[in-house]
Amino acid sequence: MHMSMARILGILVALIALTVSAKKKDKPSVEETKFDSPQNLFYFEDSDVVLVTDTSERTAYRSEDAGVHWAPLEDVKKGEVLEVINHPWNNQMAIVLGLNKKHWITRDQGKSWKAFEIPEPPTLARPPISFHATDPERLIVLTASCQSFECKESAYYTLDGFDSKPKLLLDDAMSCLWAKSTDLLQTDEDDILCVVQGTFSPWSSDYKLLVSSDFFKTDGVEPAMTEDGRPVSGIMNVASVKSYLVAAAKSENTRELAMFVTADAKHWHRAEFGEHKLEEDAYTLLESTNYSMQVDVLTTKPSVPMGVLLTSNSNGTFFTKNIEHTNRNMHGFVDFEKIQNIQGIVMVNTVDNWEEVEKKWLAEKKIRTQISFDDGRTWQAMKVDSDKDLHLHSVTNQRNMGRIFSSPAPGIVMGVGNTGKHLKAYDEGDLFVSDDAGQTWTKALSRPHLYEFGDQGAILVAIEDEETDEIKWSLNHGKDWTTMELSDLDIKGKIKPTGLTTTPDSTSLKFLLSATKGKGNKLQHFVYSINFEGLHEKQCKKDDFEQWYARVDEDGEPSCIMGHTQMFRRRKADAECFVDEEFKDPVPKMEDCKCKEVDFECDYENNFTWDADKKKCVSSGPIKAPSGACKDGEKKFMGSSGYRLIPGNTCTKEGGEKLDEPVERDCDKAPEESRPSGKIASEVTHFKGEHFAEYYYLERCPDCSGTDETVIMRTDRRDAWLSRNHGIQWEKIDTDGEEVVAIYPHQYLNDAVYLVTPSKTVFYSQNRGDKWHSFDAPEKPNQDHLQILQFHPTQKDWLIWTGRTNDQTIAHVSRKGGDDWETLLRSVRKCQFVYREDRPESDQLIFCEQYESEDSAAPISLFSSDDWFEHKKELKRDVINFATMAEYIVVALRDSDEKSLKVDTSIDGQMFADAKFPTNFKVPHQQAYTVLDSSTHAVFLHVTVNNQMDSEYGSIVKSNSNGTSYVLSVGEVNRNSPGYVDFEKMQGLEGVAVVNRVANPKEADNGKMKKLKTYITHNDGADWALIPKPEKNVNGKNFKCKGGIDKCSLHLHGYTERKDPRDTFSSPSAVGLMIATGNVGQYLGAKKEADTFATRDGGVTWTQIAEGNWMWEFGDQGSILVIVKEDEPTDSVLYSLNEGVSWERFAFTDSSMQVEDITTVPSDTSRRFLLWGKIKGELASVNLDFTGLEERSTACESPDRPGAEGQSKDYDLWEPKHPLSDDNCLFGHVAQYHRKKLDANCYNGRAIQHLHSIPRNCTCTRRDF
């Protein structure tokens, strides 16, 4: 065949051109784009499409060529972009949230956008969108419509990606998410979980979780979450973690959180953390696996954050310790990362000098890095040159976007750090690299660098983490690096990198670098597209790849985790080629191993847990026999071995361990549940001293872990004692020889308590007395009978200390739990945090009373500050006192005529209004006020009318809802000289209160002894009436007094005669019950002549339960009542198991005891009590333990369990009523309460929700006004 010369020359030219085009390049190509303020840059998975938001312009931009060219999003209005969110489960979809109600969605990676509207703007308080893992068109949007400081939160949903108008899912929803929020969850497609307000309360402590499968067309269901089948209140958040749904719950007066876990949104279990506790803002859910969760729990003060890393079993309920003293920062970030795509390899930073850091908060942490190749079971140092320990900066010092050390590139790991004993400062670090998943390391580059992985690890790119004019890359796993001047890439001047990234799967040769140029007003932002295609002239062939095992043992053999090895096909380090398989993720090849002990976990379903050393599974309860076993005389059954194969583990049992095979067990040796003793127990403890100075219980919240009943006590010898079991055993608290002058339980945190000494040293415990620490106060405590310590309702480490120096009281504040202090004000009488959940911007709001001109003889002014008194605002002058109660702040001050007092009230802590008393209420010179109560959104205020010694009385006025306008509720109410008033509201029942009135006010004005009569109200003070006498006395006989109710009624000794103000008539957990001492007659008689009475129906009818003066206490929410003789020696108590219908006697000691008080936990939920007093002249406490009683040995059937609708074989629904009404309307509505049946032989246990429902509101009558 012949060709013309022209044809031959044409082919030759073409071949030359082809050769030139295939020639290896010596540098990447770069494109520069300027933005005003680029944020939130992200790729669509498996594509070169990138979106970025310019936050200053409120405009989003799109590039479809990995950042070479950019254009504003089509169809999306410029200047309206609030946030761009990519769909985590669909690589085509993203949503642009607008600033108001209009938003946009794309289904083609941002080529086109469709607008949609939602009635309210998206919430800013939490992630606004919940995505469905298997149906990308299903979306939930959380909204918040705010006016002033109040927000209405709602949730909307769509099933078609907003093709149709979104539908309202739920109002008052704090958060909602699809149960199918990850593809691993075993939940139904339609299930939705929402955190909503409580049925009767807007407070966060009453938030509840609802689950719906019909988009809340019917009421959602509160799932059973506790062992006894109850739902849980105080739900703060719900989240998905791999194959788990996790809910965190918090009760009032504690920082402890309870964590509940489920895989199907139906069956929930409480997560158990052993000796550790979760606390609010003190735990971090870490990156987890498909078969376990990782949690890091703060174990120190937040000011010196360190933690412990815990790992769960396969169902996420039992956590065990992996490693202690993990390094955290104050934002909750933890130095922890799993190596991506490789099972079992974890890197963590720990604090070497943890003891020093715990003791000295200014001590610098000495941090070291450790790595585990077996999912955290064992840890080792990382090595450079086989003998130098390597330490790397991690999550707490993150400098780049994305993961810290690893990517999907198999086995390639990088980090900035140093060799030596401990981690040095970041700017002293160098860049290190490992290509065997962290087994061995080499130094890659000097100085800190940002870095990224490309082409499955075939190329590594780095740029120095400071102003620079160079960029570097390596084509052989970081062994050798090429450095190029930025000027050679047409980048002028130096840049300061802020981020370096590539496609999420690290398969691309294209990178994006964000950086700034200039400083101050001349600061400019740029995004650079860097393309390394062509640095190698060929694509890798078969011989360019190696088989690389992700984990190997000491002999270099592949090691197993979760029952298999992992092998990757990856490019050899020295191969001169690129993989060039863009968007094709490296997939490991799995090879199953023979089963070993590590492949099994404890069979928790059959009550097996790890022993203390985590080496063996031991029985923690009865071993379940299979159905049909141990019958017809059978002596053996095949039961659980205590182990089970970890779900998801693929190991082969043939030739390996078979720990989960059933074992033969004895029917007659299967452990049985312990039986009660059938008896009441008592324990006497003697102390040195003349009297008990003070004692307090550390209450336990209903859903907190642990079972202790902790009491702390101080004797007059200034010794402090602690009991963990309600006074059965006591131990003296070691205070290094210091005397204890006061005990301060934290007002808002049940687990915290402070011991004040005469010196500056203060001892404290944050964990119910388990561990004690100390700090130095700025001055010695004041001795002016002023409160020494004040606490913040939500910030556990914020304290106010009022001390004295140089004849001046000074208030100081600490925000680090006493570690350091700032002076607030001098010459103060009282400083107090006035935060409240519904009080806007009040977190740092403090009120202080200060003497004018810092002269303690001068009048007092009230000041406020929200910046620690850097600036202060004078609120009122010539102040007598102020008090906070519920939503009200009440201030008493001298009127301008200086002859009488006036009252001002505020709700927001900023604006005060004068109290307006009724026109017919004339008190010429008001001389004293007592703020009584505000539990029903109104202030009850006692205004003294007669202030003469021993003749004091006054009128109770009741305010409107904002505390400014008052009406007269009742007059001539008894008061004593210190200002206490005979007024008491019934706890747990709305609208019921008791007062003692002076029946002879004119005589009392003239100095005669007051004659008192007791009145009761059932409609919050609108009407008051005398209490009808009981039908019979305790002996079944009539009372001797005769005449109408004005001559013959029941009168009760009230607040002014009480030894301990905590000894109230009623209990919030014993609904409808009251006990009091008093007499039947025309007037209230002498205390020493009183008898003891009780009511079971909210004060409508009363019975005499004992002759004489008895002290009382409510136990187990009223199912155990105990009374003991007051002011006379006794060796026994009376107790009732049927709300006082009948009584039994129990002798607690062989010797008589002079009992000063009887106490139990403040919630009255315990079955134990304490007597305080003297036996044979010696100080003693006596524990009374009713847990052994057969009648109180099994738990009642909860009426709160899901599906019960308030019904239970052990409870009735009780409706209180007004004695003059036939329709059970009380306080404007009919209310139903759970009351334990009198004949139910069980115990209530943890506090139940007594208010079941309000079935209807009532038509208003005169009694409602």
Query: For each successive 10 residues of the chain (1265 residues), what is the average pLDDT?
Result: 40 38 73 95 95 96 96 94 96 95 96 95 92 97 84 93 96 94 93 90 86 93 86 90 91 85 92 83 86 90 90 86 93 93 92 91 92 88 93 95 88 96 97 94 97 93 96 95 93 94 93 94 95 85 92 84 91 91 85 92 82 81 72 81 88 93 78 62 96 95 84 97 97 96 95 96 94 95 93 93 92 94 95 88 93 87 95 93 87 77 86 83 72 81 90 92 87 93 91 95 94 94 93 92 93 93 89 96 95 95 96 95 95 96 95 96 94 96 94 84 75 85 73 90 84 76 60
Q: How many whole angstroms separate alpha carbon 209 and alpha carbon 220? A: 9
pLDDT tens, 336-367?
999 988 888 999 999 999 999 988 878 999 99
Q: Which helix (H) or strand (E) holds 973?
A: strand 966-974
Output the six-digit token pair for 273: 């953390």
| Whole-number pLDDT of residue 673 | 42
Q: Give me the percent of the chain exceeding a pLDDT of 70.
A: 95
SS3 readout for 219-271: CCECCCCCCCCCCCECEEEEEEECCEEEEEEECCCCCEEEEEEECCCCCCEEC
Q: 932-969: string of b/e by CB count within 10 Å (b at 16+)? A: bbbebebbbbbbbbbbeeebbbbbbbbbeebbbbbbeb
Q: Judge whether 454 lies within some domain.
A: no
Is residue 277 a part of any domain in this protein?
no
Q: Which amino acid is at 769?
A: G
CA geometry: angle 122, 126, 129, nearest 5 deg: 55
Choosing from 622, 637, 669, the residue where a domain stops is 669
The two structure tokens encoding residue 467: 């102003």
- The alpha carbon of 119 is separated from its chain's Cα centroid by a whole number of angstroms, namely 31
What is the per-residue pLDDT for 1224? 73
pLDDT score at 1263:
58
Q: What is the pLDDT of residue 752?
A: 95
Number of Cβ within 10 Å of residue 38's Cβ equals 21
643 found inside a domain? yes
Give the C-alpha separation, 85 to 87, whole Å.
Answer: 7
Model-level pTM?
0.80
pLDDT of residue 1261: 66
Q: What is the model's pLDDT at position 200? A: 77
Burial 64-82 (b: 16+ CB within 10 A, else e): bebbbebeebeebbeebbb
The amino acid at residue 479 is K
Residue with tokens 């299930």: 191
Q: What is residue 213's predicted lDDT score, i.e. its pLDDT?
A: 95
Strand residues in 1070-1209 grouped as ranges (E): 1074-1081, 1091-1095, 1103-1106, 1110-1115, 1120-1125, 1132-1136, 1144-1147, 1153-1159, 1168-1175, 1178-1185
Structural domains of the chain, count: 2
- In this structure, is residue 1255 part of a structural domain? yes
The neighbour count for residue 538, using CB atoms within 10 Å, is 13
In whole angstroms, give the CA distance from residue 408 to residue 415.
15
What CATH number is attached to the domain comprising 660? 3.30.60
8 A C-beta contact, residue 407 and residue 451: no
Element (H, E) at 322: strand 319-327
- Residue (of 242, 235, 192) closest to 213 by Cα position: 192
Tokens 């936050």, located at residue: 55
Q: Would residue 819 count as lying in a domain?
A: no
| DSSP category for residue 356 | H
Q: Is residue 675 assigned to a domain? A: no
**What are the start-end ranges of the H helices in 594-670?**
none
Which of 669, 693, 713 lies at the terminal end of a domain, its last residue? 669
Alpha-carbon distance of 1176 to 1184, in angstroms, equals: 19
pLDDT at residue 180, rounded to an integer: 96
The answer to whether residue 641 is domain-embedded is yes
- What are the tens digits of pLDDT across the range 160-191? 999 999 999 999 999 999 999 999 999 999 99
Of 649, 669, 689, the position where a domain reaches its end is: 669
Q: 695, 730 in Cβ contact below 8 A?
A: no
For 224-252, the pLDDT digits (tens) are 888 878 888 889 889 999 999 999 998 88
| Domain extent for 651 | 597-669
Residue 1257 lies in a domain: yes
Task: Indicate if the alpha-carbon torsion angle 646, 651, 654, 655 is positive or negative.
Answer: negative
- What Rg do the C-alpha atoms of the chain give, in angstroms? 36
